[in-house]
Amino acid sequence: MTPANTFKFERVGYRYGRDEWIFRDIDFVVDAGESIVLLGANGSGKSTLLKIMCGLTFASAGRLLAFGQEITEEHLENDSAAKEYHRRVGFLFQNSDAQLFTTSVKDEIAFGPLQMGMKKDEVRARVDDVIEMFGLSNLADRSPYRLSGGEKKKVALASVLVLNPEVIILDEPTNGLDPKTQRWLTELILKLNDQGRTIVVATHNLDLAHAIADRALILSEDHRVVFDGPTRDALSNREQLIDVNLIDEYFHIHEGKHHIHQYRHN
Amino acid sequence: MVGPSIEPGNSITLPGWMNQPTDEKEHRLQANSDRGKGSGFLNRNLRELRQVMLDDLLTERYARRDYWLQQLDPRLKLLAIIVLILLVALTRSITVFFVMWVCSLLLMSSARLPIWSLQKRIWGIFPLITLIAAIPAMFSLFNPGAPLLELYHSMAPHYWLGIRLPEQIYISRQGSIAALVIFLRVGLSITWGMLLVITTPSAHLFKSLRVLRVPLLVVMILEMTYRYLVLLIQVSHEMFEARKMRTVGKLSLRARQWQVTSSIGALFIRSMQLSEEVYQAMTARGYTGEAVSLDE
Ligand SMILES: Nc1ncnc2c1ncn2[C@@H]1O[C@H](COP(=O)(O)OP(=O)(O)O)[C@@H](O)[C@H]1O
Ligand SMILES: [Mg+2]
């Protein structure tokens, strides 16, 4: 394994209960600074795979290496190892309601840095910066559950980015967002990637996949990786997309070069 | 650009009866049988609960105004309310209860709270239930004393199935006072609690618990309990609305019972999943069992 590898999946399998395998023998590598999109229909196992990457749940078979270190339950039982890993790898949950658990937006954003043992003054400064960056000033003292879907997503993302992670993993980030907020999010992801962060996004939003990722992995409905290569090729292979039930035969994919430009040069 | 565009395809075959919308008249006939009134005990209570939880507490509608009660330091408020509730629990003097009630009304009016609707909510459910539960205590059988209202009197003792029936049954003065005291205690405790909660944003309230040296972990558990409660009420409300939309007319008792039990099952599963995810979300941000807070 070269140091440039951020994640390395080696024959990873996952099951619920005794022998209900969700997937088996997953092999792929994520390099540092890459931007990868994980495509797959509902129930194909995207969320599960991402949670394994984040060290929130653990492979039932095979192993996952991250930053050259095998990530196991035992390894993360050590508090400082766990804190370090979770600081480096940020995760935006599919369900913002689960992610927001404190009673004010400010507390929510401060939660991570405080757990990491950052000094309180520094935490305050960072929180203020992030609130400013996300334009959340007028919501800072509100309860997170009184926000709209888009605002919740922003707060959740703010609470991840405040830790300044090297790797940012996002689970269906554009779900339920209006087009403007989707666009804002897309640009943010591009920017973070430009700054050298590794990005992994699970989605079935082909627009988003197109805009942000050079490389795509496709998970089939029977939970296998059926494609690993350039996003452009993934999106132009209609048969395959139909095969994994992401689109049907009436779906049109237009040529997307202009579109990429639109995002890249903003 | 990649985007869905649906062209007229024939891949979905509609069942025959769906080819035309249902006849308007037929529809109305069915719907007429029961609509509007009598939405049922459960529905009404859920609506009420949601009204209190979501509209008043969550929107923090009253907590965010600038009257003096809202502006008061939440720690001071919390301490004062605890003292008041202790007083309510210990005193037996009806005069003290009455004075407290008048004071609470004055406070509510000075904080521009909707006094009438609050009174309905405070006294309408729990104290009333308590009062009904306390009715037996009013009778001489359980609380003998000075008669207030005689219900039955006989000179000689009567026996029934070998049980000696009491010669006299009356509502006793002591019993009535006991029932009244319980009723007032419950009502006034709710009054004070409500006054605190409704005029204080929840975030401040939880923080002020720290002043009482409540451990951070306990405060966090309380916060999360509150959070789940809110989410569950939201979800359950949505579930009931969705059901109501699909229910025309009256359902049999059995069907309603089934609805309630199956909803509770679904709610339970959802809350389990949610708590698992919340825990993961905390872990993902570095929580390892010992929480740190900004203000300490
Ligand atoms: N708690 C669970 N118990 C059993 N099976 C589960 C559980 N959670 C998810 N699954 C199954 O795991 C598979 C993958 O789920 P998930 O990772 O959420 O997919 P995706 O995020 O792609 O929609 C699905 O087939 C789902 O039914
Ligand atoms: Mg998912």
Give the tens place of pLDDT for each residue, B207-234: 788 777 888 778 877 877 777 777 777 7
Residue B99 neighbours by CB under 8 Å, 6+ apart = none
- Confidence class of residue B1 from pLDDT cuts 50, 70 and 90? very low
Copy the structure tokens of residue B222: 């309380």
Q: Are B285 and A160 within 8 A, CB to CB?
A: yes
Are A11 and A62 spatial neighbours (Cβ–Cβ below 8 Å)? Answer: yes
When mean pLDDT is compared over B9-23, B187-201, B234-248, the highest value belongs to B187-201
The answer for B 215-234 residues in CB contact with A (under 8 A) is 223-224, 226-227, 230-231
DSSP B12-67: PPPPGGGSSPPPHHHHHHHHHTS-SS---HHHHHHHHHHIIIIIIIITTTTTTS-S
Chain B: residue whose CA lies nearest to A125: B294
Look at the block and give the residue holding tokens 């309905």: B120
pLDDT score for B255: 72
Centre of ligand 2 to C-alpha A70, Å, is: 24
Residue of A101, A235, A246 to mutate when probing chain B, most B C-beta within 10 A: A101
- Residues from chain A that touch B278, judged by Cβ atoms under 8 A, are 98-99, 101
Q: pLDDT tens digits for B223-272?
A: 777 777 777 777 776 666 666 666 555 667 777 677 677 777 777 777 77
> What whole-number percentage of chain B has pLDDT above 90?
8
In this structure, the strands spanning A69-70 and A89-92 are unpaired
Average pLDDT estimate for B102-112? 91
Q: pLDDT tens digits for A162-178?
A: 999 999 999 999 988 88
Q: Is the ipTM of this complex over 0.90?
A: no
Residue with the bigger pLDDT between A87 and B164: it is: A87
Q: Are A93 and B283 within 8 A, CB to CB?
A: no
Residue of B233, B278, B285 to mutate when probing chain A, most A C-beta within 10 A: B285
Of B5, B7, B281, the CB nearest to A93: B281
Q: Does B206 touch chain A (CB under 8 A)?
A: yes
Residue with the bigger pLDDT between B144 and A15: it is: A15
pLDDT score for A260: 42
Q: Are A93 and B277 within 8 A, CB to CB?
A: yes
CA dist A153 and A172 (Å) reads: 11
The answer for B 184-203 residues in CB contact with A (under 8 A) is 201-203
- Confidence class of residue B44 from pLDDT cuts 50, 70 and 90? low
When mean pLDDT is compared over B122-136, B151-165, B182-196, B245-259, the highest value belongs to B182-196
Which residues are B158's β-sheet partners? B165
Structural domain boundaries in chain B: 40-62+208-290, 65-200
When mean pLDDT is compared over B9-23, B59-73, B92-106, the highest value belongs to B92-106
Q: Are B283 and A56 within 8 A, CB to CB?
A: yes
pLDDT score for B41: 59
* Backbone CA torsion sign across B63, B65, B69, B72: positive
Average pLDDT over chain A, rounded to whole?
87
Look at the block and give the residue holding tokens 């939970």: A223
Of B1, B58, B294, the CB nearest to A145: B58
pLDDT score for B33: 47
CA dist A23 and A20 (Å) reads: 9
- Confidence class of residue B47 from pLDDT cuts 50, 70 and 90? low
Centre of ligand 2 to C-alpha A228, Å, is: 19
Average pLDDT estimate for B136-140? 78
Ligand 1 binding pocket includes A42 (Cβ within 6 Å): yes
Of B2, B287, B292, the CB nearest to A256: B2
Ligand 1 binding pocket includes A48 (Cβ within 6 Å): yes
Identify the residue whose C-alpha is closest to ligand 1 atom 5: A16
- Confidence class of residue B103 from pLDDT cuts 50, 70 and 90? very high
pLDDT score for A215: 95
Q: What is the DSSP letter of B139?
A: B
pLDDT score for B200: 85
CA dist A210 and B118 (Å) reads: 55
DSSP A3-67: TTEEEEEEEEEEEETTTEEEEEEEEEEEETT-EEEEEE-TTSSHHHHHHHHTTSS--SEEEEEET
Locate the ligand 1 atom nearest the alpha carbon of residue A51 and give its number.
17
In this structure, the strands spanning A35-40 and A5-16 are unpaired
B241-244 long-range contacts, Cβ below 8 Å, gap at least 24?
Answer: B244/B43
- Confidence class of residue B17 from pLDDT cuts 50, 70 and 90? low
CA dist B241 and B114 (Å) reads: 27
CA dist A243 and A44 (Å) reads: 13
pLDDT score for A91: 94
Q: What is the DSSP letter of B250?
A: P
Q: pLDDT tens digits for A70-111?
A: 999 999 988 889 989 999 999 999 988 878 877 788 888 998
pLDDT score for A258: 40
pLDDT score for B22: 58
Q: Are B58 and A146 within 8 A, CB to CB?
A: yes
Copy the structure tokens of residue B138: 């009013």
Chain B: residue whose CA lies nearest to A54: B284
CA dist B39 and B43 (Å) reads: 6
Locate the ligand 1 atom nearest the alpha carbon of residue A40 and give its number.
22
- Distance from the Cα of A206 to chain B's closest Cα (Å) equals 7
Q: Does B210 touch chain A (CB under 8 A)?
A: no
CATH topology of domain A5-261: Rossmann fold (3.40.50)
Compute how many other C-beta atoms are within 10 angstroms of the C-beta atom of residue B18: 9
Locate the ligand 1 atom nearest the alpha carbon of residue B273 and give its number.
1
- CA contacts within 13 A on the Cβ side of A46: 26
CA dist B122 and B48 (Å) reads: 12
Which ligand minimizes its atom distance to the CA of A173? Answer: 2
CA dist A238 and B96 (Å) reads: 79
What Rg value do the Cα atoms of chain B yield, rounded? 27
Q: pLDDT tens digits for A152-209?
A: 999 999 999 999 999 999 999 998 888 888 999 999 999 999 988 999 999 988 989 9
pLDDT score for A226: 92
Chain A: residue whose CA lies nearest to B7: A250
Q: Does B274 touch chain A (CB under 8 A)?
A: yes
Average pLDDT estimate for A39-62? 92
What is this structure's pTM? Answer: 0.70
Copy the structure tokens of residue B150: 């005689």
CA dist B278 and A31 (Å) reads: 29
- Confidence class of residue A38 from pLDDT cuts 50, 70 and 90? very high
Are A149 and A72 spatial neighbours (Cβ–Cβ below 8 Å)? Answer: no
pLDDT score for B249: 58
Q: What is the DSSP letter of B251?
A: P
pLDDT score for B99: 95
Mean pLDDT check: name the lowest of A75-89, A245-259, B96-110. A245-259
- Confidence class of residue B6 from pLDDT cuts 50, 70 and 90? very low
Residue with the bigger pLDDT between B14 and B92: it is: B92
pLDDT score for B38: 47
Q: Are B1 and A95 within 8 A, CB to CB?
A: no
Are A74 and A68 spatial neighbours (Cβ–Cβ below 8 Å)? Answer: no
CA–CA distance from A94 to each of A99, A203, B89, B220, B277 (Å)?
Answer: 9, 10, 47, 23, 10
Whether pLDDT at B7 is above 80: no
3-state DSSP call for residue A140?
coil
pLDDT score for B288: 78
What Rg value do the Cα atoms of chain A yield, rounded? 18
Closest by CA position to B127, among listed B87, B97, B107, B102? B97
Centre of ligand 2 to C-alpha B117, Å, is: 44
Whether pLDDT at B4 is above 60: no
pLDDT score for B274: 78
Look at the block and give the residue holding tokens 């309510």: B88
- Residues from chain A that touch B280, judged by Cβ atoms under 8 A, are 51, 56-57, 93, 98
- Confidence class of residue B34 from pLDDT cuts 50, 70 and 90? very low
- Confidence class of residue B36 from pLDDT cuts 50, 70 and 90? very low
CA dist A105 and A156 (Å) reads: 9
- Confidence class of residue B55 from pLDDT cuts 50, 70 and 90? low
Which ligand minimizes its atom distance to the CA of A171? Answer: 2
- Residues from chain B that touch A250, judged by Cβ atoms under 8 A, are 5-7, 9
